[in-house]
Amino acid sequence: MKKLNPIIIILSSVIAVIVLFGGFFVYQRVTFESPLANIINDQPSVEKATIEVTDNEINVDLKAKPDIDLREVMNAIYSQGGSAISKLNVNMNVEDQTSPELETWWKSILFDIAEAMETKAYGRIPEILHNQAPALDGIQISTDLDDHNVYIKLVHKNAYKIVILPRTPSQLGVPTNV
């Protein structure tokens, strides 16, 4: 009986691991990341999008133009992305071009917005924003809503701020029924 060569065994194991994990990453890239990047980058108001897919979520870093309609972008992701994407949580991080005045105004109403989100009174959000609009002369406000998020776009002079608020907040703390 021949002795097994340890170098061949180690080399075979390394090649098997590379093929298995490399195949998984190529599959993930070809199945999710590339098509999804194409869907998002094909949107007219998107300058550039980078995508990272993990086990249960998709993280999208987006550089957008001021006229972006985030609801349409998210709708394109869910409708054109296929059934596998609809099971994943999509987290979108939008790079905006804000200003100190816009940030100060946003911080002044943030408590009221958070309260409306917490109580699921989404219809109050446009009301809160428009009631506080006179505090920042010339601000343009746009809000939208879908099954997943509340979208807020604030434009003031050459600055704009885009906020995406998830409609189902993550549960924090320890469950009380344990």
Compute the distance between CA of residue 142 and CA of residue 158 in angstroms, rounded to an integer: 16
| Res 87: pLDDT | 73
Residue 15, pLDDT > 70, answer yes
pLDDT at 106: 93
> pLDDT per residue over 86-143, tens digit each?
677 888 888 888 899 999 999 999 999 999 999 999 999 999 999 999 998 899 999 9
Confidence of residue 178 (pLDDT cuts 50, 70, 90): very low
Could you state, in order of their start, the residue ranges of all structural domains in the chain?
10-166
Which residues does 117 contact at the CB level (< 8 Å), separation at least 6? 125, 150, 165, 167, 169
